[in-house]
Structure 1
Amino acid sequence: MTARAVLFDLDGTLIDSLDDLTDAVNHVLNSFGKAPLAKSAVRKLVGKGSRNLVQRALATDDFEDIERGHALFETFNAAHIADKSRLYPGARQALEELTGRGVLLAVVSNKNEALSRLILKVLSIDHFFVAICGGDTYPERKPSPLPLLRTSGALSTLPENTVMVGDSINDIEAGKLAGMATIGCTWGYGGLDELEQADHLAGSCREVSDILMECLFPA
């Protein structure tokens, strides 16, 4: 049987981490004497990794400020990685069903690898994944197809037998460039306009599993 794989984004796809990300951002802003941001504002900044998130939150191009802010963010986020973060409804069940059917699973996130591994472990879903790729695992991050292709290669699966699942334009663009089918998650942090190029749209983790098993990986 041909190996089949699904690559999942993390924040906004499997895990609702926005409250913890907002707390970490506001910890940085407070350290710089700046006013806090509302969760709705932080939501618009998420998606291109924590360094980009900090830079945009601080609204600066100053290298030293970005480096200091990024270090503060990662230290705080690691210490409070899942104070408020939770799996989206149906996420665990979808992962169980897919692995039960022999589908290989991996994470391809723009969150750095150490924090990705930490939150997966704390939420007790790390064992589902054969590979975990963060934004700092390879020289490029999404929307580059490189991390997707490297990860599918590590799983010994071909792009045409691999699906990228995510909530943002970074996920969909990366999947398209990698030659993979894509599923856009409408409950995440990206807007519907970011998902218009996705091959399929899902409104829940249950729908992701249904699309995969009925349309993309039929028995």
Structure 2
Amino acid sequence: MTRTSFPAAVLFDLDGTLLDSAPDFVVTANRMLQARGMPEVSLEQLRPAVSKGARAMLAVAFPQMGESERQALVPEFLEIYEALIGQYATLFDGVETMLQALEEAGTTWGIVTNKPEYLARLILPQLGWEQRCAVLIGGDTLAERKPHPLPLEVAAQRIDIAASACVYVGDDERDIIAARAAGMPSVAALWGYRLDTDDPQSWQADCQYEQPQQLWQPAAWPATQPASA
């Protein structure tokens, strides 16, 4: 049956789903490379790895290094990124209109990301989201992170809406795995970051869309259970 209203709550991944943060990360990686007299990495090279996290991006920027060497670079990477966070990033086209449509319908929305919470919280005031975003769970907020369902379960608890009444939107397979394990319908954001080896069809999300604009209408969202927690 076609939905006639938006879900009671929507939880979003951040990087690659709401925020096109790849430009920030390219500048971060290139500052590290410049400091070492090494060739810069391009946006096209780094972009597919963004949703996989700092280690994956460092593997693209420093492919000649061993894993332990790259691991030692993570604090430097995060320090440089923190200093410039949001300067080059932009919302994906259509995201703001989507959020406004949800808000006008009375839908609660929040963010569940694997980005460290302190970094995710720096983004909110830049976008005017401090009051709009009802809950924020970072990758270090809890004992587990996605693909474990705990972050989604706790987010639902904090907004006092049953997980089965929420929808989770993310651009990585771990997002869909976490949602399924939490009993939460999911949307695969195909406009985000993916490696060539990723196959979104195999993730088995309830819905998948190429653009945020496709989520402007209630009928686009997957079916959910009643909102009582």
Short-chain TM bin:
0.7 to 0.9
Q: Paired residue for 1:207? A: 214
C-alpha separation between the residues in 1 aligned to 2:17 and 2:168? 11
C-alpha separation between the residues in 2 aligned to 1:21 and 1:212? 35
Shift in Å, 1:199: 0.7
Q: Paired residue for 1:117? A: 121
Q: Say whether 1:61 aligns with 2:67.
A: yes
Which structure 1 residue ranges, 4+ long, deviate > 6 Å from structure 2? none
Q: Say whether 1:145 aligns with 2:149.
A: yes
Shift in Å, 1:215: 4.8
Alignment length (residue pairs): 215
Maintained 8 Å contact 1:48/1:142: no
Unaligned residue ranges in structure 1 (runs of 5+): none
Unaligned residue ranges in structure 2 (runs of 5+): 1-6
Q: Paired residue for 2:200? A: 194
Q: CA RMSD in A?
A: 2.6
C-alpha separation between the residues in 1 aligned to 2:92 and 2:12? 13
Letter in 1 for 2:71: I
**Structure 2-normalised TM-score?**
0.82
Maintained 8 Å contact 1:107/1:132: yes
Shift in Å, 1:127: 2.5
The one of the two structures with greater contact order (alpha-carbon pairs below 8 A, sep at least 6) is 2
Any idea what the Cα deviations from partners look like across 1:47-80, whole Å, max 9, x if unmatched? Answer: 23335543664453326x524x222212211221
Within a 5 Å distance, the mapping from 1:95-110 to structure 2 comes to 95-110=99-114
**Structure 1-normalised TM-score?**
0.86
C-alpha separation between the residues in 2 aligned to 1:145 and 1:115? 21
Shift in Å, 1:45: 2.1
Shift in Å, 1:145: 1.1
